[in-house]
Structures are given as structure tokens and as C-alpha cells.
Structure 1
């Protein structure tokens, strides 16, 4: 799913601590960063808070913890939650390897996400997944029902329709994006690599349209047993409303919260409202 307005940056303290296989660098804002070797790659992550309830933030297409979740790492309740953000393989600071999009790339991200949390010592945790990260969360929750406490997804879909293909094609050429939209990604990847990787993502997501009913993970939705909150911005230009309605219908016991003014990046644009909604759901 497309990634359209990106978050800020954290300033770093110049302190290094060696711990096991991970080099951890504390932030002045009490956010620690490090790398953990998982499934053959070194995954970059950031962690903050000291609460008993662990939460994993899963970014969108080409996204990273820094571009996608700055307001959540900064403001989610650090007494109640331990919050972990990460860069999926091939994204952000989890490079090398270069990102590719085989037919199972969402399944691969789901395995990496779960195995990262296991490697960091979390026995059970909740998932917050945005856009592509929401798809990853859906798969992870279906595949690991005993590990997932609760789940929040937004800007996500379980299938690719012909209508969706048109939306993806419309944003294929990043040179047509505004400079403001391109800048955060170009800062992470460089202009050439960003353009190339984004086009590869469009092709990668489009391949699901060739499957029966365009399924990405439709068959897995009935396997999800954790309490699930689906959030949808009613002005989301990339995710038509039939997608959250499908999730609501097929994930048993799920609930849907609509944000009338929300777009695809609702957790950044309306961070305070979003964070409170998520905290209340996770604490409930």
C-alpha cells in the first residue's frame, strides 16, 4: 500500500552499549536502537517504554520505524507499553539486502516480525500495522494465534481488485509526486534507488491480482482469534472502504472505527486521536 506522508526524526546520543548479538544505541528521547540477526538478515529496530504490554509497529511499503511511526514512538504510554518499531528486510536501515518482492513477501515479513520479537525476548505481544504493515500483521496474527495479544490495522487490505490496480498505477511514477512527498523517501534511499524500489513494489503488489479473487491473505482472516481493531480514514485515497468492510466481516469479533477526515496517513496527521484510540483498545 502506498506510503504518503512521513514522520519526523529523532536526535541521537553518542552512546554505544554492546549486548548479545545486538549493538544498541540509546536515544536522548529514551528510544534505543539496534540490530538483531533474524532469518539470515540483520533487522534494525527501535524500542522505547517499560510497560508489560509489548507492541510491535509494522511500517508500510518502503517504510521504516523513523519515517512511519515517530508520533507513536514518542507518545504512546511508556508506563503501560514497551513499543518496538522495526525496518523490514530491504527497507530503511535493514539493508543490505536490497528489497525484493517475491510472491511470498508478505509471509516473509510476517515471519521476520514474529521472529524479531521472539529474539528480543517477548513471549506475547500486540501488533500495530499500517498499510502493507497491516497486511503483514494480519498474516502474523493468523499464523501465530498463541503469540498475538491484540491487533490494530489501518490502511490495509486482504485482496487486490482491478480498482486497486488503477490506484497503484497512478502513483507508479514518483517523478510525478510532489517534492514534499518524495523527500522523506529520497532521504532514506536516494532518488534513484527509491524510484526503482517503488516501481518494484507496484509490480509486487499487482501480482496478487492474478490470484483467485485477488487474494493476498483472504483465506487467513477466519484464523485470526485475537481482538482486532480496524481503523479507516474515510478520505483514504489508496484504500477504498470495501477493504475495511471485508476485514470486519471476516475477522471474528473485530470492530471498525471510522475517522471521517482521515486519509492514508491518519496516524500521523491525527496522532493524538489515533494514539488515544489505540491505547484505550490495548488497555481494554
Structure 2
């Protein structure tokens, strides 16, 4: 039975009532939303589906469940999956607090993500992480091997190079972005807050370049033991191809799939979205099936 939020509590809808109207049935099958107090902050989340396979969607920089994962919340198989999207602290509807970027902000997000799922009653779950969310997923998987079933990441990196710094600086000034690219973020934050927070992110990610080898989480990759799929769009303007190759090389048994026409937000385009949805559930469980293929899954 589907779930909906009423008075802060999740209640089951009795969809077998003959008197239920179509509108009520549609409402009962919609996404449930709420806030959960985790590690001192109230984290906004959305949940849909009733499948035995729990999946947490982790958004990118300044992202939220709705701006980054609307198609996945709508289209992932709700009989097979229970899908949870969330807004990391300081992002989207998980405000206040305002977002800040201390040197451990990725570790903080990883702990928040795992503790959120535990507080919602999930003992084991998989991770789908995009961009910054992929970095968060890498850290969460490395530090919580008993909790993470599988992992899919794309548009992600484990270190910051000088090439990356050049790319980040090139997009610092959001006034130079296209209106189409700015609009979703400005709708969430307002133009001034978005611009200020984005500059904070650029400064936050740049600080990793001062670490040995520019490491964000390089030293953690060998600790990842769950079946892992790395996806990379070969037309990604933000993540050079050496990043997915490095992840693939250093995550034991991982698989890498290259998408020739894929860009940074490959999961939001229709054709590539279908592929992403298919691959999200196809990472193999058995150790002897976790090979290092670079072909399709």
C-alpha cells in the first residue's frame, strides 16, 4: 500500500476501498515528505515506493531531491525499490542552517546521509550519487561497509587537480551562466543567496587542492567493498575523464560504463535517464561477478 504524510506521521492508504476516488488513489501513490532531526539539524527528505531494495539519492552541489532527482523519484520501479531523496544540510529545504563548507563537509554529508537512513528505519541500503553526491557516496560506502548494499556514482571525483581548479573558477560567476541553468537554483535559493552559496562552494572545493595530491577521499577508496558502478559521460565539461578512471582503478571490483554522449547531468536527459534507471539495479551482488569490465552492465 502506498504512503502519504499526514500530521507529521506516515499513514497507510487503504487503496482497496471501493469508494476511494481516483484523486485519492493518485495522492496515496505520491511521494511522502517530511523532516527528520539528524545530527543537530532538520533534514528534508522524500520517500516513495514499497520495494525491499532501499535506495538513497544523493544530490550534487547546492542540489536538492527535487532539482536533481525528480525523474528518478517518479520513474524508479516502486514495487522493487523504496526510494529516498534528501536535501543535505544547508541545501534546498534543509535550511536553516545556511550552508557552509568546512574542510570536512563531505564527511559531514556522508554521516548525515547514513544517519538519516538509519533514523528512517533502513538497516541496509544502496546509494545513487551524482557529482558532489557521488563523493559523499564514496565516503559513506567506505566508512559503512555493513550498511551499503550497492553504489552507483557519476560525475564524481576523489581528488582536485589544477585542471579542476581552472574549471571551477570558470563557473564561479553565476551571472555568466545561461538563464536556463540558473533558474532552478534561483527558484530554490533566490538569486543573491544562490550566487553567494555557489561562491562558497567554489572556495570549499578548491581547498582540497592544498592537500597532498589534492585528495578529497583518495585514501578511502580501497575500503569500499560493496558492488560499485561508475558511470561517466564523455562530454562532461566539469569532470575530466581521468577521474572515473582513477575511481575504477582504486575501487576493487568496480565496473565503469562510459557514455559517449553523456554530459555532467546525464541522468536528467530522457535517453540517458532510461539507461541510468536500468543500471541502478544491475550491479551484481556476487563477488565472482564483480569484474572490471568497462562495457555495459
* Length-normalised TM-score, structure 2: 0.87
Which protein has greater RCO, CA pairs closer than 8 Å, 6+ apart? 1
1:135 deviation in Å? 0.2
Match of residue 190 from structure 1: 190
User: Which structure 2 segments of 5+ residues have no match?
Assistant: 11-24, 287-297
* CA spacing shift, 1:272–1:49, aligned 2, 3 Å: same
1:280 deviation in Å? 2.7
Aligned Cα root-mean-square deviation (Å): 1.6
Match of residue 6 from structure 1: none
1:19 deviation in Å? 2.5
Match of residue 65 from structure 2: 65
Conserved 8 A contact 1:174-1:182: yes
Match of residue 278 from structure 2: 276
Would you say 1:16 and 2:6 are equivalent positions?
Answer: yes
Query: 2-side partners of 1:218 and 1:122: how far apart?
Result: 28
Query: 1-side partners of 2:137 and 2:5: how far apart?
Result: 33
1:57-206 map, 5 Å: 57-206=57-206
Conserved 8 A contact 1:224-1:252: yes
Query: 2-side partners of 1:197 and 1:172: how far apart?
Result: 10
* Length-normalised TM-score, structure 1: 0.91
Q: Which of structures 1 and 2 has the bigger CA Rg?
A: 2
Which 4+ runs in 1 deviate beyond 2 A? 14-20, 26-29, 279-284
1:12-51 map, 5 Å: 16-19=6-9, 28=27, 30-51=30-51
Query: 1-side partners of 2:5 and 2:148: how far apart?
Result: 33
Query: 1-side partners of 2:284 and 2:44: how far apart?
Result: 25
1:220-235 map, 5 Å: 220-235=220-235
